[in-house]
Structure 1
Amino acid sequence: MSVAATSSAHTPAPRDPQRIYSIAELSREFAITPRTIRFYEDEGLIKPRRQGTTRLYTAGDRTRLSWILRGKRLGFSLAEIRELLDLYQVDRTGIQQLRELLRRSQLHIADLERKRADLDQHIGEFRDVEAQVSAELKQRGVDPESD
Structure 2
Amino acid sequence: MATYTITDLAREFDITPRAIRFYEDQGLLNPSREGPGGRNRIYTARERTHLKLTLRGKRLGLSLSDIKSLVDMYRSPKDTEVQLQSFLVVLARHRAALEQQREDIEVMLAEISAHEEESRSLLAQTATRPT
TM-score by length of 2: 0.83
Task: Give the Å deviation of 1:55.
Answer: 0.9
Large movers: runs of 4+ above 3 Å: none
For each residue in 1:46-89, what CA deviation from the matched residue of structure 2 results, as whole angstroms up to 9, or x when unmatched? 11111121111111111111111111111111111112222345
> What count of residue pairs does the alignment treat as equivalent?
125
Q: CA deviation at 1:135?
A: 1.3
Q: Equivalents in 2 of 1:20, 1:126: separation in Å?
A: 52
**Any idea what the Cα deviations from partners look like across 1:14-50, whole Å, max 9, x if unmatched?**
xxxx111111111111111111111111222111111
Q: Structure 1 residue 31 and structure 2 residue 17: aligned?
A: no
Partner residue, 1:3? none
Question: CA contact under 8 A between 1:20 and 1:59: conserved in structure 2?
Answer: yes
Aligned ranges 1:102-113 → 2 under 5 Å: 102-113=88-99
Does the CA-based 8 Å contact 1:23-1:55 persist in structure 2? yes
Q: 1:88 to 1:134 in 2, by over 3 A?
A: closer
Q: How many angstroms apart in 2 are the aligned matches of 1:123 and 1:20?
A: 48
Gaps of 5+ in 1: 1-17, 143-147
Q: Residues of 1 paired with 2:74 and 2:3: CA distance?
A: 22
Identity of matched residues, %: 44
The match for 1:94 is 79
Partner of 2:53: 67
> What is the alpha-carbon distance in structure 1 between the residues aligned to residue 73 and residue 5 of structure 2?
27
| RMSD, matched Cα | 2.0
Structure 2's unaligned 5+ residue stretches are none
Structure 1 length as normaliser, TM-score?
A: 0.75
Which residue is 1:20 aligned to? 3
